[in-house]
Structure 1
Amino acid sequence: MSSSQGSTLSTNVAGFVDGSSACREVSCIDYLPVYVKELIAGGAAGAFAKTAVAPLERVKILLQTRTEGFQSLGVYQSLKKVLKHEGFLGFYKGNGASVLRIVPYAALHFMTYEQYRLWILNNYPALGSGSVVDLLAGSVAGGTAVLCTYPLDLARTKLAYQVVDPRGNLSCGMKSAFRQPMYDGIKDVLMTVYREGGVRALYRGVGPTLTGILPYAGLKFYIYEELKSHVPEEHQKSIVMRLSCGALAGLLGQTFTYPLDVVRRQMQVESLQPSVQGDTRYRNTLEGLNTIARNQGWRQLFAGLSINYIKIVPSVAIGFTAYDIMKGWLNIPPRQKSKSASTGT
């Protein structure tokens, strides 16, 4: 054991003997592998950001899926209707599944992004170390996270699609919505869907999800890191700077991929809509885009986009900011440079 390691160990042992909680916390954090720290930072950032915008996410899903009684409503009226029929907790319906999904999703997304980025730098030095690497690493990381957590996203959408009035005060325009099968929770959704269609049913809509997440995740990281690189070093740790860069990254990235999100949501709730129950409306992403544009109008491809702008700005901004703050709190070391850069070649 080297003298520096012996000194560190002695200090930690002394901290435990003295009852110093600070020493205990620092020692536990410092001895965690970097990838574990990245998982913790990403998961915490995702959960915090998702819960902050849960009411807007619920209304967005209701608009995207053309839920009875919500097709012609705007954001404000939809929020009022949810509050009237389901109370304040209605805003967070499906948020349990959402957080349950977003914690492993965000943890995997941020961690694999860092690991893919390092792998690209070390194996393909010709790409340099700029934003192109962030674009590639972010895209692959987004795909990895989606494949690992997609069934939870499916459960979240099905739960959020259901509109329940616990007081029994149903408006005429909403009656048909209550003929849908009711799910008791995340476990009930997953088990029911699996019984009806197996593993394939649990991944219904994953095609447009992957088609959308690959460019979106890549653009999100690309724009965020590109914007940060133009900020003076003395402002790099500013909370306002991080929020601003994250907001712009989410805003621009989401705009290009939003129609794919609409197709995904409609594919996820097809079995809950009486008019198409038992039918397969969209065989693939391209057919979904064409069918929605032809039968529902091209505007439906952007249904809920306004509320998504309202939601995505704070969501991505809070997510990136929380992740950067968590990285500092967990003492995650600065990013490593590529082998060629570190050796000066």
Structure 2
Amino acid sequence: MSAGGAHLKDEGTRRQVVLAGGAAGLISRFCVAPLDVVKIRLQLQVHSLSDPPSHGSAAGPVYKGTWSTMRAIVRQEGITGLWKGNIPAEMMYVCYGAIQFTAYRSTTEALAQLDPHRLPPSAESFISGAVGGGMATGATYPLDLLRTRFAAQGTERIYRSLGGSILEIARHEGVPGFFRGCSAAITQIVPYMGLFFATYESLRPITTQWEQLPFGTSDAAAGVVASVLAKTGVFPLDLVRKRLQVQGPTRTRYVHRNIPEYRGVLDTIGTILRTQGPRGLYRGLTVSLFKAAPASAVTMWTYEHVLRLVQEMELAAEA
């Protein structure tokens, strides 16, 4: 490999990348689903955790922290409550992973054709990650919205099935109802995925030298660090996206019945700053980082290993 492309990995064929990306998203989502539900519940909570508990009313917070939230969900809704919204989420993660890695690979290959005016490796990784994340987010956003609404449901079932939820939203909110908060998602995902891939590609050559890590987890280690740094930087937009996703005629029927009415990204940010202060924009950050680290570790570890497995299987079949 030439010096100009020495930083690029052999990503394999497009079909191999799609298979590996889809598998990575599927497995990662199932592993972190409980933390995702807890994160969404905390992000939608208006009151501070330091306020007295509400005991079911709107006078205070419903949940008081990550582990107590998880215990409360299991006690009130059963263990399956921790996997609410998992069906649309699994569909989203599979499609998202496949689209993201395919777009990332295609953009990386396109940027590699800029010789002799190549961008720095970190810039190429940032651009490729941003393009991949943006395309995957836009294509799978309706599934993301459905995931949030199912996860936000308490003991009252607003939507009883995936098909029923689609018909219900289409009937009462129209097509725009499936894209509430999409602008916040796109604004968030571009810098997030750009920072994630730029950090990941920069750290991966370093972590591969850590021979003491078991089971080839250098990919996972790079994924964890990259995810934590990127997630913290764009978390307020993730919270804004969740608040906007539950707007509409069902807003007062979720487990938090006092979610304010917001009219856009800027209005949401302004209202939160005015009523809850800057800390209000980081509600649920702790569990988000708990989730982001294992999710990215599992995603990148699975992607790299499934990709190698598929390549080896195809080489064996050709032999």
Contact 1:121 1:129 in 2 (8 A): no
Alignment-derived partner of residue 204 in structure 2: 228
Alignment-derived partner of residue 309 in structure 2: 329
Counterpart code for 1:50: R
How far has the Cα of 1:295 moved from its partner? Answer: 2.1
Alignment-derived partner of residue 18 in structure 2: 39
Structure 1 spans left out of the alignment, 5+ residues: 1-32, 165-177, 333-345
How far has the Cα of 1:42 moved from its partner? Answer: 0.3
Counterpart code for 1:77: S
Contact 1:156 1:186 in 2 (8 A): no
The match for 1:268 among 234, 237, 245 is 245
Q: Alignment RMSD, CA only?
A: 2.5
Alignment-derived partner of residue 242 in structure 1: 219
- 2:33 pairs with 1:54: yes
- 2:263 pairs with 1:283: yes
Contact 1:154 1:268 in 2 (8 A): yes
Counterpart code for 1:190: I
The match for 1:293 among 248, 273, 276 is 273
Counterpart code for 2:251: Q
Q: Following the alignment from structure 2 to structure 1, what is the Cα–Cα distance between the partners of residues 117 and 217? A: 34
Q: Following the alignment from structure 1 to structure 2, what is the Cα–Cα distance between the partners of residues 215 and 265? A: 18
Contact 1:94 1:159 in 2 (8 A): yes
Task: Name the CA shift for 1:249/1:125 in 2 (closer, same or farther; >3 Å).
Answer: farther
Counterpart code for 1:182: I
Alignment-derived partner of residue 317 in structure 2: none
How far has the Cα of 1:222 moved from its partner? Answer: 0.7
How far has the Cα of 1:197 moved from its partner? Answer: 2.4
- Runs in 1 of length 4+ with deviation above 6 angstroms? none
Alignment-derived partner of residue 146 in structure 1: 137
Q: Secondary structure at the residue paired with 2:217? A: helix
| Deviation larger for 235-244 or 315-324 | 235-244
Q: Secondary structure at the residue paired with 1:283? A: coil
Structure 2-normalised TM-score?
0.83
Q: Which has the larger radius of gyration?
A: 1
- 2:292 pairs with 1:312: yes
- 2:188 pairs with 1:209: no
Q: Following the alignment from structure 2 to structure 1, what is the Cα–Cα distance between the partners of residues 154 and 116? A: 52
Q: Secondary structure at the residue paired with 1:126? A: coil
Q: Following the alignment from structure 2 to structure 1, what is the Cα–Cα distance between the partners of residues 266 and 118? A: 32
Q: Secondary structure at the residue paired with 1:184? A: coil
| Deviation larger for 97-106 or 184-193 | 184-193
Structure 2 spans left out of the alignment, 5+ residues: 1-11, 47-53, 313-319
**% of aligned pairs identical?**
31
Task: Name the CA shift for 1:79/1:330 in 2 (closer, same or farther; >3 Å).
Answer: same
| Deviation larger for 308-317 or 58-67 | 58-67
Counterpart code for 1:53: V
Alignment-derived partner of residue 50 in structure 2: none
Alignment-derived partner of residue 104 in structure 2: 113
Alignment-derived partner of residue 92 in structure 2: 101
Q: How many residues align?
A: 284
Contact 2:180 2:247 in 1 (8 A): no
Alignment-derived partner of residue 132 in structure 1: 123
Structure 1-normalised TM-score?
0.77
Contact 1:105 1:146 in 2 (8 A): yes
Counterpart code for 2:110: W
Alignment-derived partner of residue 191 in structure 1: 167
